[in-house]
Chain A
Amino acid sequence: MNLVLALLSTRQFLTAERIRTTVAGYEEAATDEAFYRMLERDKAELRELGIPLETGKQSIFDTVDGYRIARGDYELAAIDLAPDEATAVALAARLWDSPQLAGAARTAVTKLRAAGVEVDPTAASEVQPRVRTTEPAFAPLLAAARAGRAVRFAHRGHPAAPARDRTVEPWGVVSYRGRWYLVGHDRDRDDVRCFRISRIEGEVTPVGPRGAVTRPEGIDLVDLVARSAGPPPPSGTARVRLAPGRAAGLRRAGRPDPQGDPDVVELDLARLESLARWIAGHGPDAVVLEPPELRDAVVATLRASADALTEVPS
Chain B
Amino acid sequence: MSAEGVAERLPRLLTLVPWLLARPGVPVAEAAAEFGITEAQLRRDLELLWMCGLPGYGPGDLVDLSFEGDTVTVVYDAGLSRPLRLSGPEAATLAVALRALADAPGVVDTDAVQRALAKIEQASGRSDDPSAGTVAVGMGRTPGNARAEATVRDAVARHRALRLTYYSASRDAVGRRDVDPMRLMMVDGSTYLEAWCRRAEGVRMFRLDRVDDAEILDEPARPPADAEPREVPADATGLLAPDAGRQLAALRLAPEARWVAEYYPMEDVVADEDGSARVRMRYGDRAWMVRLLLGLGETVEVLWPPELAAERADRAREALAAYGVG
Q: Which residues of A come within 8 Å of B, CB atoms?
A: 1-2, 4-6, 8-9, 22-24, 45, 48-51, 73-82, 84-89, 91-93, 95-97, 100-101, 104-116, 124-132, 134, 142, 145-148, 158-160, 170-179, 198, 211, 215, 221-222, 225-226, 230, 246-249, 252, 277-284, 287, 295, 298-309, 311-312, 314
**In the complex, what residues of A have CB within 8 A of residue B57's CB?**
24
- A100 to chain B: closest CB distance in Å? 8
A45 to B319 alpha-carbon distance, docked (Å): 69
Q: How does the 8 Å CB contact mask read for B24-35 relative to A, with 1 for contact and 0 for none?
A: 000000000011
Q: How many A-B contacts are there with CB distance less than 8 Å?
A: 383
Residues A308 and B190 in contact, CB atoms below 8 Å apart? no
Kindly state the separation between the CA atoms of A80 and B92 in the bound complex, as whole angstroms.
19
| B72 CB-CB contact with A under 8 Å | no
Give the shortest distance, in Å, between A84 (CB) and chain B (any CB). 4
Identify 13 new A-B residue pairs, CB closer than 8 A, beyond the known A178-B235, A283-B319: A5-B79, A24-B57, A106-B36, A108-B86, A114-B83, A148-B130, A158-B258, A249-B172, A282-B319, A304-B297, A305-B293, A305-B294, A308-B313
Q: Is the CB of A51 within 8 A of B97?
A: no
Q: A77-B125, A160-B275 are known contacts. Are A1 and B186 too (CB-CB below 8 A)?
A: no
19 contacts between A and B (CB under 8 A): A79-B122, A84-B109, A88-B113, A89-B94, A91-B97, A93-B94, A107-B11, A110-B34, A113-B19, A128-B232, A131-B189, A158-B258, A175-B138, A178-B235, A222-B137, A248-B173, A301-B295, A303-B320, A305-B293
B75 within 8 A of A: no
Tell me whether B69 is interfacial, beta carbon within 8 Å: no
Q: Per-position contact with A for B308-326: 1 when CB-CB < 8 Å, else 0?
A: 0110110111111111010
Residue contact B323 to A287, C-beta cutoff 8 Å: yes
| B182 within 8 A of partner (CB) | yes
Known: A75-B82, A108-B93, A305-B313. A277 touches B15 (CB 8 A): no
Q: Are B301 and A1 in contact (CB under 8 A)?
A: no
Smallest distance from the beta carbon of B34 to chain A beta carbons, Å? 6
Q: Which residue of the partner chain A has the closest CB to B53?
A: A5
Contact present for B86 and A284 (CB under 8 Å): no
Chain B residues whose C-beta falls within 8 Å of the C-beta of A172 in the assembled complex: 133-136
Which residues on B sit within 8 Å (CB–CB) of A86? 116
Q: Give chain A nearest CB distance to B19 CB in angstroms.
A: 4
**Minimal beta-carbon separation of A170 from chain B (angstroms):** 8
C-alpha gap A22/B98 in the complex (Å): 44
Distance between Cα atoms of A115 and B236 in the complex (Å) = 37
Which residue on chain B has the smallest CB distance to residue A25? Answer: B52
Question: If the complex has contacts A77-B85, A159-B258, A249-B172, are A142 and B134 also in contact, measured as CB distance less than 8 A?
Answer: yes
Is the beta-carbon distance between A281 and B295 smaller than 8 angstroms? Answer: yes
B306 contacts chain A at the CB level, 8 A cutoff: yes
**B302, A249: Cβ atoms closer than 8 Å:** no
Q: Does B14 contact A (CB under 8 A)?
A: yes
A219 CB to closest chain B CB, in angstroms?
A: 9
CB distance from A164 to the nearest CB of B (A): 15
Please, how many angstroms separate the alpha-carbon atoms of A281 and B296 in the complex? 8
Instruction: Report yes or no: A126 in contact with B100, Cβ–Cβ below 8 A.
Output: no
B 132-154 contacts with A by CB, 8 A: 133-141
* Pairwise interchain contact A50-B84, C-beta atoms closer than 8 A: yes
CB proximity of A227 to chain B, nearest CB, Å? 11
Which of A88, A176, A280 has the most chain B CB within a 10 Å cutoff?
A88
A309–B84 CB distance below 8 A = no
Given contacts A5-B54, A309-B310, contact A45 B138 (CB under 8 A): no
Q: Are A249 and B169 in contact, CB atoms less than 8 angstroms apart?
A: yes
